[in-house]
Amino acid sequence: MFLFASLNPKSYEDDLLDAELADRIRNGDSRAFEDLFFKYHTDLNNFAISITKSRELARDGVQDVFFRIWRNKKELNVHNSIRVYIFQAVKNKCLNLIEKQNNQIKLRDNFRIQQSNKLEIEFNLDSALSVEQQALIKAIWEAVDRMPERRRMVFYLHRKNGFKYKEIAKILSISRKTVENHMGQALKFLRSEIDLKKFE
């Protein structure tokens, strides 16, 4: 009996202290926020690891929850206990991170499958193009294959599938500015890798 009781050490007094912390945080008390963080960080991190099976994702999930609590402190409206609130928030955030990671893995896998399909992807050769034009297209896509993965995906989505920068940003969960930077670097790389005079 004692063993099971010891697994649930929370008490009514703890809930009152947590409620006080929540009130102080809502009023901008950074010390109360630090107290809450250090009080629950280890338990939340272990809980997040049990969901994500990843220390990195767990850390990101917990940090994001605390970041949002402080950023939106004036709107902090806890109906139950702050402990219940933050554990629910961490659970939801971890599930979102897992879904996001799975979507990125699927996108990357699909991208690799498409790359391996030479008839569909490799260069879109058209019989109406000249031999020189076909050779240039082939050289471009061979150079694209040597780009870093994220840059290659940005270039592929834009030039092969016609996605706009804003759409690519959403697909890859990066900013539009990052997409623009990747495209700029990709074009710079292609200019450095391909001798256009050979195809004139």
Greater pLDDT, 113 or 67: 67
The per-residue pLDDT for 121 is: 41
- Quick one: CA torsion of 89, 95, 97, 101, rounded to 10 degrees? 180
The per-residue pLDDT for 200 is: 46
Judge whether 179 and 190 are in contact, CB under 8 Å. Answer: no
pLDDT tens digit string along 33-82?
A: 999 899 989 888 888 888 888 899 899 999 999 999 999 888 887 666 78
Greater pLDDT, 164 or 198: 164
The per-residue pLDDT for 192 is: 85
Residue 18: in which H helix or E strand, if any?
helix 12-26
pLDDT tens digit string along 149-180?
A: 888 888 888 887 778 888 888 878 889 999 99
